[in-house]
Amino acid sequence: MKIIDRLNEDRIHISFEVFPPKTDDGIEKVFAATDEIAKLDPAFISVTYGAGGGTSRNTARIATHIKDDLNVLSLAHLTCASSTKEEVRDVIENLKDLGIENILALRGDIPANMTFPDAERFRYAWELVEEIKRHGDFCIGAACYPEGHVENEHKADDIRYLKQKVDCGVDFLTTQMFFDNDIHYNFLYRIREAGITVPVLPGIMPITSASQMRRSRELSGTVFPRRFLSILDRFGGSPGAMRQAGIAYATDQIIDLLANGVKNIHIYSMNKPDVAAAIMNNLSEIIKC
């Protein structure tokens, strides 16, 4: 089944994301975490993509396990900056052979000490979308950035490039994490005005430790509102309290989104089934509405 067909159903959908281990030695631990998340009846589970090596192979392994063994829709991430065009084509063909119908197309981070762009690699995500379309009947997702992509100085340019990517064949979008829902609502207004009509899944990251907040800021450059920083100042020194507060904050974000008509939510669960389960428990009656 394609994810776009599920997203178009008139009901609330909650999905989760997991990531492969850095080495093959950790695969069983990731399988165990994924198995627990699958028990929460998610709309789908996405699997991130590593920069070459075992993590890239393990993306397909985990996505196949989700689809075949857990009977849950899986979404395999695919990035192109760290791989040659031929390597990307091989991955697409492998995913097709495994029966994986859903791919999240990303440029990905540019590896250190690499000359980029070059003729051997796709430069933009829209080029990857076109390549995936050439290889089969996939459902294709892509990323979007409510606070603007760090490489684009002007938000108008960011939306113009997003429209180009969507027009190449993207079926749905997933946002980068954000912590102020007003940013998401403003972003939706601007992209709808620009003619981008595909479903947009807000990406929610439960921040359960001070160190996780620092990593999130470094990776995404996202803005943390004063309300969240107050929580961090008060509870950041107590792991148990910060975990509980982070889950509550993410839950509050999701409830507000649902109350304002958003039906599809993607949670960056960071291979933490206990956090995912706590959020779903908080939403147990709400998602039935």
Question: What pLDDT sits at residue 265?
Answer: 98
Backbone phi and psi for residue 75, each to the nearest 5 degrees, phi listed first: -125, 115
Whether a cis peptide bond, with omega within 30° of 0, leads into 117 is: yes
Read off the tokens for 195: 């003619």
Question: What pLDDT sits at residue 157?
Answer: 84
Question: What pLDDT sits at residue 152?
Answer: 54
Q: Is 17 a catalytic residue?
A: yes
- Within the chain, where are the H helices? 3-7, 27-38, 54-64, 85-97, 125-135, 155-167, 181-193, 210-220, 226-235, 239-259, 273-282
Question: What pLDDT sits at residue 222?
Answer: 80
Domains (ranges, CATH) in the chain? 3-288 (3.20.20.220)
Question: By the 8 A CB rule, do 185 and 260 touch?
Answer: yes
Positions of the chain with pLDDT under 70: 51-55, 114, 149-154, 217-221
Question: What pLDDT sits at residue 100?
Answer: 97
Question: What pLDDT sits at residue 52?
Answer: 53
Question: What pLDDT sits at residue 6?
Answer: 98
What are all long-range contacts of 51-58, with beta carbons under 8 Å and residues at least 24 apart? Answer: 51/79, 51/82, 51/108, 51/109, 51/111, 52/82, 52/83, 54/20, 54/21, 54/22, 54/23, 54/24, 55/20, 55/21, 55/22, 56/83, 56/91, 58/20, 58/21, 58/24, 58/27, 58/30
**195 three-class SS:** coil
Find the catalytic residue in 9, 17, 93, 131: 17
Q: Which residue has the tokens 């960071």?
A: 270
Read off the tokens for 274: 């206990």
